[in-house]
A and B are shown apart, each in its own frame.
Chain A
Amino acid sequence: MLEIKNLHASVGDKKILNGINLQVNPGEVHAIMGPNGSGKSTLASVIAGKEEFEVKKGSIALEGEDLEELAPEERAHKGIFLSFQYPVEIPGVSVTNFMKTAINESRKARGLEDMPANQMLKLIREKSEMLEIDRKFLSRSLNEGFSGGEKKRNEIFQMAMMEPKLAILDETDSGLDIDALRIVANGVNKLRGGENAIIVITHYQRLLEYIVPDFVHVLHDGKIVKSGTKELALELEEKGYDWIKQETVV
């Protein structure tokens, strides 16, 4: 599904990604872990198409199609979804209206008519119930005055609405208490299975107890320095990242 080859990316003169190779197949969940500043969020943003980052070398392909020339919205139309670490506040635009616009823009790009209003309402009801989101919440301005946890839950609600092929969750666990974490993980697991793939970016093993990954990768200095199965996450939790850094130096 997603194939990243020798990816180098920079902001201005600063190199952040230094040759990432990653293959994600349909149905798989990959966790990307690593210390602060290792390039995790940059990798997520580069896949989603943030223009601030310049791809210097290498390629990203979704289902065999190179993404390099595609704008962020075109990548979204192809089925890429990024759950933001810091979702942006949009005053005056309700969660519901925002979702309507997002879904219908994606449909338009695929040559489909707008989703009928009753179908949209049904979808909103179904997904908000799954994430235990209060109806009142949906008429509030997007992310405005939301707590950290509400913002993250809202991100996963958006993901559930858009049903992406590839979801990238950037530090979705930060700001969530244990109950919210369970609800959010449940929402993510509903997307799981079949053809969809998920990349979970996190500092901690905690989220991975609920969203169990098929593979774990450790990012350091803009490179994947170690890959393994879910046991690697446990090992990291126990030993920290220093041993990996040392291993890399050697």
Chain B
Amino acid sequence: MDLKDKLLSSFIAFENNVDLDNPIHEVRSEAIKNFEEKGFPSKKEEAWKYTSLNNLQKVDFSVFPKQENTLEYRDIKKYFLHEIDTYKIVFIDGVYSSYLSETTHDGVDVCLMSAAFNKPMYKQIIELYFNKVASKDESLTTLNTAFSREGAYIYIPKNKAPRKPIQIIHFATGNEAALMLQPRNLIIAEENAEVQIIERHQSLTGNEVFTNSVTEIYAAKDAIVDFYKVQNDAKTASLVDNTYISQKDNSVVRVHTFSFGGKMTRNNLNFYQNGERIDSTLKGVTILGEKQHVDHHTLVHHAQPNCESHQDYKGIFGEKSTGVFNGKIIVDQIAQKTNAFQQNNNILLSDKATINTKPQLEIFADDVKCSHGCTIGQLDEDALFYLQSRGIPKKEATALLMYAFANNVLESVRIPELKKRINKIIANTLGVRVGFDL
């Protein structure tokens, strides 16, 4: 049985465990129909030309974990940003772990989707926001919607901000030979609210994991949302991250994606600007080696006047790694005075590494500023010589230059400890110690 059939038959079993009278059930049923019709995307589709899911479909993934697994904090502490105090929403093999988590209902809600789905007090918000910005016809998103049951639920009311950043961490223990996870997150920042979120998927063994995640983010008028995706997973873990963001007037949403690990990663990051004077920022650093693959597909839809978007993705590709950047910007006719910037710069460190980069601009307004640029190059030999001539060995000099190359993406990270952590991961990925904290 291939993965699609397995998922379809699992849906019947899934229905036995959920409340069929809940209006969400109808949404799930619609979604599974769409997935049944479309199936997994294939390389024949333009959007999936460079990323294949064929091998994943041959793996016998278990779709529901058979048992509840536990982890000791000391064994997994390093995956948390533990230098600062944070709220934590932690899942082990897709199941919420209350003893590793720290949630709150103190003025803001930092808790679980399962609670939001089932408790009457959240009903109205779920009806208002759940599956509203997420695609109803993209097959992997609808697959996730069909199985949506657990994930992070974050609701920040008007004029509020949680006291500290929120970490969402998904652990895979490897107790299953191969595990498929489908977390579903809903994040709502009401008017003038502010929130900072760090998300991480971490497999703890060499067993195969396939995560198909969907996150919906709603930023109301004047809200500020910072979302950091730390993708430094084991080399046997694959991730499809579908993130949908809806923004209203004057809101600011910044998504930083740090992609260093994993076997196959596909990021579908979609911004919809539904108001004026909106600021959307999409930044990424990708550093890959071996046969790793990362595909960034971004969309910014400018649907109202006077908005801005800033995209800056840097990629460093070694060995036989492959990268994709596809940045789509749509400017509707009504969206005059749009400022849309897009930049994608890449360094290839090996003859066998590949990057496919493509800007896709669809502009229907005439009074706009849109710029895009992509570069693919090798390391600057003159710069390398400069550093070496100061006594810095070639390996360290190379790492410093790569750090410098990726640096402006890090500048906008607003949690200093996170920035430090990312720098450390970069230094580790590059295999160097340069004598100071990068």
Contacts and interface: CB of A to CB of B under 8 A. Distances in A.
Interface of A: 45, 48-52, 71-73, 75-77, 80-82, 84, 86-88, 90-93, 97-98, 100-106, 109, 114, 158, 162
Interface of B: 380-383, 385-394, 396-397, 400-401, 403-404, 407-408, 410, 434-436, 438
Given A88-B382, A100-B435, A73 B393 contact: yes
Contact of B390 (A49, A71, A76): A76
B386 A105 contact: no
Nearest to B406: A92
A192 B287 CA distance: 45
Contacts of A90: 383, 387, 400-401, 404
A90 B392 CA distance: 14
B404 A92 contact: yes
13 contacts: A51-B385, A52-B385, A71-B388, A72-B389, A88-B383, A90-B387, A91-B404, A92-B408, A93-B404, A100-B435, A101-B434, A102-B390, A105-B393
B407 A162 contact: no
A106 B386 CA distance: 15
Contact of B436 (A82, A87, A97): A97
A100 to B, nearest CB: 6
Contacts of B390: 73, 76, 98, 102, 158, 162
A92 B435 contact: no
B403 A93 contact: yes
A216 to B, nearest CB: 25
Contacts of B434: 101
Given A72-B385, A88-B386, A90-B383, A105 B391 contact: yes
Contacts of A71: 388, 393-394
B435 A114 contact: yes
A102 B394 CA distance: 12
B389 A76 contact: yes
Contact of B407 (A75, A88, A92, A101): A92
Contacts of B408: 91-92
B391 A76 contact: yes
B392 A101 contact: yes
A71 B387 CA distance: 12
A101 B403 contact: no
Contacts of A105: 391-393, 396, 435
A238 B401 CA distance: 44
A109 B410 CA distance: 32
Contacts of B382: 86, 88
